[in-house]
């Protein structure tokens, strides 16, 4: 059977790029595309289908427990066990910690960290049962080093980094590989109008290809963490 790849945050940016590169290069791949925007997901699915992938859309708020449970059940009914889980969904908002509201902090936590926990908890048991699977957790360079104005985002991404280490420790003898990805500035719609020069931002396609290349490694090898940065800067 061809692999089932579940990608959260697949409606734009890196998530959409990951879906497209897997569709182009993994013959017959079956894609479970997850995000809140069903309209945008359908546009990505259409592109992936043209490359020969079986791409299905699953609308979901990955920070909500009930929504994740419903999504996981729907994916299982459509595709069966997930082979590759890519926890890519996330959100950014900057503010000094003394000025950040509790509500905004909670939104950062839910979108970037709670989502990884909820989706992984729903999907990984199936991998453990088969003793085979791949999990990619999207952290950030903000999950390795702090910066002013990053209270909510850095805290959440540091959490993703830590959770990934725990998952690696618990799953390495169960046939499940866990990779934590730390990209620097990568093009997405959120960068539009930022004033940052394009050459200081990585193309989403480059980051997406790293996921594919890591997945293609032999099963005796795992990339536990990978850092990707723009060549010309530390963004």
Which residues form the catalytic set?
153
Q: Using CB atoms within 10 Å of the CB of residue 166, give its burial: 0 to 12 exposed, 13 to 18 middle, 19+ buried.
A: exposed
The DSSP secondary structure of 55-118, one letter per residue, reads: EEEEE--TT-HHHHHHHHHHHHHHH-S-SEEEE-------B-TTT--HHHHHHHHIIIIIHHHH
Residues 6+ apart with CB under 8 A from 199: 230, 232
CA distance 51 to 115: 29
């Amino acid at each position: 059977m061809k692999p089932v790849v579940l990608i959260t945050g697949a409606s734009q940016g890196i998530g959409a790029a990951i879906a497209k590169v897997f569709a182009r290069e993994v013959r017959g791949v079956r894609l479970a595309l997850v995000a809140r925007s069903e309209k945008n997901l359908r546009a990505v699915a259409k592109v992936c289908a043209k490359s020969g992938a079986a791409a299905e859309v699953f609308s979901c708020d990955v920070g909500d427990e009930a929504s994740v449970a419903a999504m996981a059940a729907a994916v299982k009914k459509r595709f069966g066990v997930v082979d590759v889980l890519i926890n890519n969904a996330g959100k950014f908002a900057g503010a000094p910690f003394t000025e950040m509201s509790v509500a905004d902090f909670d939104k950062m936590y839910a979108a970037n960290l709670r989502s990884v926990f909820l989706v992984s908890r729903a999907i990984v048991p199936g991998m453990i049962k088969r003793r085979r699977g791949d999990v990619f957790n999207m952290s950030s360079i903000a999950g390795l080093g702090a910066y002013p104005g990053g209270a909510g985002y850095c805290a959440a991404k540091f959490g993703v980094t830590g959770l990934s280490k725990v998952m690696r420790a618990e799953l390495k003898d169960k046939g499940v590989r866990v990779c934590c990805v730390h990209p620097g500035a990568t093009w997405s719609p959120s960068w539009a109008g930022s004033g940052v020069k394009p050459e200081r931002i990585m193309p989403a396609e480059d980051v997406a290809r790293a996921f594919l290349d890591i997945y293609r490694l032999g099963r005796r090898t795992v990339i536990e963490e990978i850092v990707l940065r723009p060549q010309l800067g530390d963004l």
